[in-house]
Homo-oligomer: A and B are copies of this chain.
């Protein structure tokens, strides 16, 4: 059954997720900071909202897919924010990657306003977003997951309900920590091996797809081989996620020495101008010589 849905955030991921909802017949109102990114969707029948609040008016479910907590806060609570536009009982599904305490803060704000809330960050990048094969890591009440499920099933192929509000973001922190640390571990192994005279091709052949490296790296083989890193998941976003991990670890009182060293390697890569390339480009900042 078609639902009335608001969608805020039409970047690489959001635009593809929204297109899938539209294709499935949902009644979609969209908002984005720059309207240009909405044009294709508008041409396919989506409605334009002039503000976050306008995108929220009258919808059953509002979906946000933004880059970071500050951006989410701005459209939610800033001027013409959507928390003011939603009807009582409406459901906000935040698919952005944010820290768990931020999710809980937003959940609390919804509670006080008589709104419902799910944190539902996604696993998967551009390709899966396009094919509707994202995996959702969801935190919130069972009933709210049930409300959102028809939409999540259109945008993705798996929903893991991890627990109460914040649990989706919690699991997302864990997975992106593994993503970042796995990438840097492989990068350091690669530069060590190359420095010892082993050809990069040999290292890639021996190490990717085997039991020494995580599966998510196998798909990056051509990138490492060619030294060109067409973006799937931008390095600067993973750097941002590692900063959220740092904040989160401080809040929960755990110590993550290698995660912080990893974060700073991404920081170096970003300073070196690799922020908009795929995160696997992190290897280059350790591989290249000179240049400080």
Residue numbers in B under 8 Å from A179 (CB-CB): 212
Q: Is A207 an interface residue (CB 8 A)?
A: yes
How many whole Å from A161's CB to the nearest CB in chain B?
Answer: 11
* Beta-carbon contact of A215 and B210 below 8 Å: yes
* Beta-carbon contact of A254 and B167 below 8 Å: no
How many residues does chain A have at the interface if contact means C-beta atoms less than 8 Å apart? 78
Interface string of A181-204 (1 = CB under 8 A from B): 110111011011101111000110
Q: Is A115 an interface residue (CB 8 A)?
A: no
Contacts A171-B198, A211-B214, A214-B212 given; does A256 touch B192 at CB 8 Å: yes
Which of A179, A255, A265 has its CB near the most chain B CB atoms (within 10 A)?
A255
* Beta-carbon contact of B272 and A206 below 8 Å: no
CB < 8 Å neighbour of A262 from B167, B182, B258, B288: B258
A138 to B39, CA, bound (A): 48
A246 to B248, CA, bound (A): 12
* Chain A 249-272 interface residues, beta-carbon cutoff 8 Å to B: 249-250, 252-265, 267-272
A46 to B206, CA, bound (A): 36
Q: Is A43 an interface residue (CB 8 A)?
A: no
* Beta-carbon contact of B267 and A255 below 8 Å: yes
Residue numbers in B under 8 Å from A189 (CB-CB): 174-175, 177-178, 181
Q: Is A228 an interface residue (CB 8 A)?
A: no
In the complex, the count of this chain's copies comes to 4
Residue numbers in B under 8 Å from A249 (CB-CB): 192, 195, 267
* Beta-carbon contact of A185 and B178 below 8 Å: yes
How many whole Å from A78's CB to the nearest CB in chain B?
Answer: 13
* Residue on B nearest A282 in the bound complex, by CB: B292
Interface string of A106-148 (1 = CB under 8 A from B): 0000000000000000000000000000000000000000000
Q: Identify 18 new A-B residue pairs, CB closer than 8 A, beyond the known A162-B198, A192-B252, A253-B271.
A: A170-B193, A171-B206, A175-B189, A177-B185, A177-B192, A178-B207, A178-B212, A182-B185, A185-B258, A192-B248, A195-B252, A211-B214, A213-B214, A240-B250, A255-B268, A273-B290, A284-B292, A285-B292
A-B pairs with the 9 shortest C-beta distances?
Answer: A272-B292, A291-B291, A211-B215, A261-B261, A181-B185, A195-B252, A170-B196, A255-B267, A285-B292
Some 12 contacts from A to B, beta carbons below 8 A apart, are A171-B206, A173-B192, A174-B192, A175-B212, A178-B189, A178-B207, A181-B181, A182-B182, A239-B250, A243-B250, A250-B267, A260-B263
Q: Which residues of A contact B (CB under 8 A)?
A: 100, 160, 162-163, 166-167, 170-171, 173-175, 177-179, 181-182, 184-186, 188-189, 191-193, 195-198, 202-203, 206-207, 210-216, 239-240, 243, 245-250, 252-265, 267-274, 284-286, 288-292
